[in-house]
Amino acid sequence: MYRGDRRIGSITNPFAKVKHFSSSNINTSPDPNRITWDDLMTDEYFNAVKEEYTSSKHQPFHEQPLGFNPNEPIVWIDIETSGLDINKDKILEISCVITDSNLNLISEHESMVINYPEEFINKNFSEWCKKQHMLSGLTDDVRTSTLTIKDAEINLVKFLNRFTRKLQTNLAGNSIHFDKQFLQKEMPLVDSIFPHRLIDVSSFGELCKRWNPQLYAQRPAKVKLHRSRADIYESIREMMFYRKYIFSNLLRK
């Protein structure tokens, strides 16, 4: 196998060569058969890996995850919490919106606020949360709510079961790994619906900021109310922006 006039080598076992690859030998090894960073970035190398992996001694190669459906709905969830510490803080509010794969609204569940006693509010809210949740009205809603976390979980599972397939429908949002951590702890039935693959709008933003700062500067402004329903729609609006200006050419093909 050749790239230009430099030998890459016949990759009969690309995995054996990959294990020798490290940042310390990028473009510095005198061995012409040693894989370099440039080698890893070629189509030839990836095709060789795929060819090896599709041989009879390996399991079948799948272009997409098993059961993948490009028209699968997307579940958008946002939570408000008493703080950032997964070990001691709690979900105060949760909202959920379902869109199709093109970000068109399918359905939404009303926001659910969880009741906690005054003692919890005074002792467990972080200083930022005390100020922000008071301004947004969430603290008062926590005081007057009659919902428990279990009530909210059961309501949300019933709603999600109408639109999702277990482990097939992706969870989306801004920094959605944060929300998923709290779901794992406090709403395991909800969390169990979703696969490990997440659609994190924040990742698109971080890459756009690095690779196209002019476009990033034009992204939709955020009000930052820090109420779950409003934050979800800001996330969807931001994803619509990236879809239009980053993926539009691909979508037209």
Q: Which residues are catalytic?
A: 226
Rounded distance between C-alpha atoms, residue 52 and residue 17, angstroms: 12
CB 160 within 8 A of CB 64: no
Q: Which of 24, 41, 43, 21 is nearest to 33 (CA)?
A: 21
Cα–Cα separations (whole angstroms), residue 17 to 7, 9, 12, 13, 60: 15, 11, 10, 7, 21
Q: 41-75 burial, b if ≥16 CB within 10 A, otherwise e?
A: eeeebeebbeebeeeeeeeeeeeeeeeeeeebbbb
Q: Quick one: tokens of 34? A: 């040693």
> CA-based angle 178:182:187, to the nearest 5?
140
